[in-house]
Amino acid sequence: MAHRIIISGGGTGGHIFPAIAIANALKNIAPDTEILFVGANGKMEMERVPAAGYEIIGLDIAGINRQSMLKNISLPFKMIKSLWKARQVLKDFKAEAAIGVGGYASGPLLMMANMMGLPTVIQEQNSFAGVTNKKLGAKAKRICVAYEGMDRFFPKDRILLTGNPIRKSSVAIEGKKEEAMHAFFLDAKKKTVLVTGGSLGAKTLNDCIKAGIPAFVAQDIQVIWQCGSYYYEKLQAEFGDSLPENIKLMPFLERMDYAYAAADVIVARAGAGTISELCVVGKPVILVPSPNVSDDHQTKNALALVNKDAAVMVRDAQAGSDLVETILNLLFDPEKQVKLSEEIKKLALADADEVIAKEVLELIKK
């Protein structure tokens, strides 16, 4: 008999990629499984999920606006409306289980699934659980986590250490260094840094790399600089034809596997999905946590690695003065590179999507 499972959440790529990975794993294990996504209207999942071949229904739900308290007046009404719609969706779809991956929509959907007595599974991506997931965790049958010590937030007997589902194609870098160097028009004999601020880019990283160009040129270092589509045109206009050929500026990276394969050192934000990919890639990493996330999640994610000598961290506020120097020091310290690589690889959990999918199917059987 075909199982019917709802996956809810989204808002960022960091939530959407794991959700789609879990859906794909469910389809691989039990091909007749019927899957429905529930997202938040106006958020990126409403485009990304159909592009991956799955149906999605949107809820009119939003997060708390910390800049304008006036805009929060409608939140209770949106919540009631979303709970009501979630109930309808669960009934109409005849769902047997619900999975929440974080993001606005997972709150009302999983709350209603719990009220209706359906088995629910939470996928907590960060090392510090968010408010919604902590509440949902009280009734969830299973909480799938990416870090140790999560019994601070959830009932210990229901926690499963799975890691975060990752894009397998992005981390498949074995034997691709030569192809990658050709793809980026780089010299295999020169040291190469990958700087990535995620699909939207990161202003701090962009400002630091822009200021560091003379230092990189002086040391003949190559930089793959993924600046984000939001910043690309402005940066391109600023540089015109004056960008040195060692510096490869691009809005986003279609082939993340090539970027990872080409790099000797990687500089990145510390989102949960990014860190999970970096652990599997196993290259030396400098993390610059974003200060613009709730509960300072990214700093906590980064520290989970730093405390195991698996990464170097530069705080966002110090990046302007310290980041370029930290990159150069690491590039010219092969011993430290080897140590960081060895330690970050120990934290890799590559099959989270399959482990979570099997767990959900087991819960339905029970």
Q: Which pLDDT belongs to residue 29?
A: 96
Range 4-165+350-365: architecture per CATH:
3-Layer(aba) Sandwich (3.40)
Q: Which pLDDT belongs to residue 123?
A: 94
In the chain, which segments carry CATH 3.40.50.2000?
4-165+350-365, 169-345
Give backbone dihedrals phi and psi of 32, rounded to 5 degrees, phi first.
-85, 5
Nearest CA-CA partner of 363 in 3, 92, 103, 105: 3
pLDDT exceeds 80 at position 78: no
225 pairs with which residues across the strands? Answer: 195, 249
Q: Is 126 annotated as a binding residue?
A: yes
83 Cβ neighbours under 8 A, 6+ residues apart: 108, 111, 112
Q: Is 41 annotated as a binding residue?
A: no
**8 A C-beta contact, residue 247 and residue 218:** no
Percent of the chain exceeding pLDDT 70 equals: 96
CA dist 291 and 230 (Å) reads 18
CA dist 355 and 302 (Å) reads 24
Q: Which pLDDT belongs to residue 67?
A: 62
Q: Is 199 annotated as a binding residue?
A: yes
CA dist 315 and 227 (Å) reads 19
- pLDDT tens-digit profile of 148-207? 899 999 999 999 999 999 888 899 999 999 999 999 999 999 999 999 987 778 899 999
- pLDDT tens-digit profile of 276-294? 999 999 999 999 999 887 7
Angle at 251 between CA 274 and CA 311, to 5 degrees: 30
Q: Which pLDDT belongs to residue 71?
A: 67
Mean residue pLDDT across the chain: 91
pLDDT exceeds 80 at position 354: yes
The total of other beta-carbon atoms located within 10 Å of residue 218's CB is: 9
Q: What is the largest CA-CA distance in the chain?
A: 65
User: How would residue 65 be classed by pLDDT, with cut points 50, 70 and 90?
Assistant: low
CA dist 19 and 22 (Å) reads 5
Q: Which pLDDT belongs to residue 104?
A: 78
Q: Which pLDDT belongs to residue 42?
A: 87
Q: Outline where DSSP puts E strands in the chain.
A: 4-8, 34-40, 55-59, 97-100, 120-124, 142-145, 159-161, 192-196, 222-226, 247-250, 265-268, 285-287, 312-313
pLDDT exceeds 80 at position 72: no
Q: Is 12 annotated as a binding residue?
A: yes
Mean pLDDT is lowest, of 15-29, 75-89, 263-277, 298-312, for: 75-89
H/E stretch holding 78 reads: helix 75-93
The total of other beta-carbon atoms located within 10 Å of residue 364's CB is: 15
- pLDDT tens-digit profile of 194-226? 999 877 788 999 999 999 999 999 999 999 999
pLDDT exceeds 70 at position 330: yes
SS3 250: strand
- Single pTM value for the model: 0.84
Q: Is 206 annotated as a binding residue?
A: no
Superfamily of chain region 169-345: Glycogen Phosphorylase B; (3.40.50.2000)
Single-letter amino acid, residue 173: I
